[in-house]
Structure 1
Amino acid sequence: MGTHADRTSGTTPGRDFTAASRDALVEALLSAGPGRPTLCEGWNTEHLAAHIVLRENSPLMAGLLFPPLARSLERRTKALGDSASTPDAYQRLTERVAAGPQPPARLRGHARTAVFSSEISGRLKDTRAARKAAQATNLLEFFVHTEDVRRAQDRWAPRHLADDYANALFAEFTRRARLMYRSEPTGIVLARSTGQRVVARPASRDGSSRTIAGPAGELVMHGFGRRGHALVLVD
């Protein structure tokens, strides 16, 4: 799978990085098709798409943080994914990924309420605070899951990321890096290929530390546990 011609690549990137990441994820899902593997163990492409839809629309997503709901979430993700194994059903599911969060079904059934809800939602999304919150919530999630699809296929190649998109990825990633590397036995320094260096975990008591070097996107993949598929150098 080659370079995506979207707002995350090329020389004229868009400003809405969350929307760009969603676009790339949808493109990757459609390009791969249903029944294809991903880097998420036990999930084919349709299950990953189901995860995104449920993540944005279902209260069961509390199962990511609340263990008693985890099994119900897992069953619902599998059921929704399994129901989208045909090309037409998969297309409809990816369209739901592209559409993003939707009003609850009980509101969508009332035309006037649905229009009002859509207008309010659109205005809220257009505020600077809302865009910032959406980017913090979704930017890394969408990027990593895009690569979960792409890198599980044959003959994939790294995408060229526009500079400001890569900067946004790295900025969001470094805000979480200490949490992601908290269990490492040594210190961790993230060395971006642009020359930026960030201490993700202080050196251990014996002074030992490792440097993980690579482009922003590859450092993100490493931090999110895709270490066998991240193009980084570890010193």
Structure 2
Amino acid sequence: MSMAQRERQALVQTMAAAGPDAPTLCGEWTTRDLAAHLIVRERRPDAAPGIMLKPFASHLENVQRRVAQRPFPQLLELVSSGPPWLLRPVDSLMNLTEMFVHHEDVRRAQTEWEPRELSAADEDRLWKVLTGLARMAYRKSPVTVALVTPDGRRTVAHRAGERTVVLAGPPSELLLHAFGRSAVRLEATGDAEDVAAVHALDRSV
């Protein structure tokens, strides 16, 4: 089973335990809203473009609202069953970060959360993803941003002069920060104002 598939099933279990009205880190979305988002993304090609393209956003919102009205167990079953057969060959590529990040969106919206201990192999998978998207995530930074891991891996996410902010932590935590999440366990070094500016960035990718 791929990491994407494992994260999908873990996400479904976490949403089931939290209940349909539990908060997430996705703005005002509840777990019900998040499940509807995942279903529309995979199963409604007419509406999914609205995730990225503003002209289609209103249609996406309407479709997602209707999907969210279904019984919660039905929503979870649709998420659990995975993408339609046409998309299954690219499931690992398309859904690794989606499932991992949204799993943490549910986990870390709860009180007293703690980071999970992922295997070295899973952290390696997330590092490979991170190095590919880091430049996009930190493109608006006014200072150079470097990402480093406890085992010494390093990538420069953005270059902007001599002032540098270094974000240190396991790939899983760095990836969550790159996706705009603030509920992370990282060490940030650099000028205090520069660190604050990096944390405040629009890191949407």
2-structure distance, mates of 1:182, 1:72 = 29
Give aligned-pair identity as a percent.
37
2-structure distance, mates of 1:169, 1:226 = 15
2-structure distance, mates of 1:68, 1:95 = 30
Alignment pair present for 1:61 and 2:48: yes
- State the secondary structure of the residue aligned to 1:194: coil
Alignment pair present for 1:77 and 2:32: no
Q: Map Cα deviations across residues 146-172 of structure 1 (whole Å, 9 max, x no partner).
A: 011011112222111111011101111
Alignment pair present for 1:97 and 2:79: yes
Q: Which amino acid aligns with 2:83?
A: P
- State the secondary structure of the residue aligned to 1:35: coil
Q: Which amino acid aligns with 1:143?
A: F
Give the number of equivalent residue pairs.
188
CA contact (8 A) 2:4 2:100 kept: no
2-structure distance, mates of 1:168, 1:212 = 19
How far 1:217 sits from its partner (Å)? Answer: 1.1
Structure 1 spans left out of the alignment, 5+ residues: 1-13, 103-117
2-structure distance, mates of 1:74, 1:159 = 32
State the 4+ residue runs in structure 1 displaced beyond 4 angstroms: none
Structure 2 spans left out of the alignment, 5+ residues: 190-205
Higher relative contact order (CA 8 A, sep 6+): 1
Q: Map Cα deviations across residues 133-152 of structure 1 (whole Å, 9 max, x no partner).
A: 43232111111100110111
Q: Which amino acid aligns with 2:117?
A: H
1-structure distance, mates of 2:62, 2:184 = 29
Q: Which residue of 2 aligns with 1:139?
A: 96
Q: 1:193 aligns with which of 147, 150, 153?
A: 150
Q: Which amino acid aligns with 1:30?
A: A
Query: TM-score normalized by structure 2?
Result: 0.86
Query: TM-score normalized by structure 1?
Result: 0.76
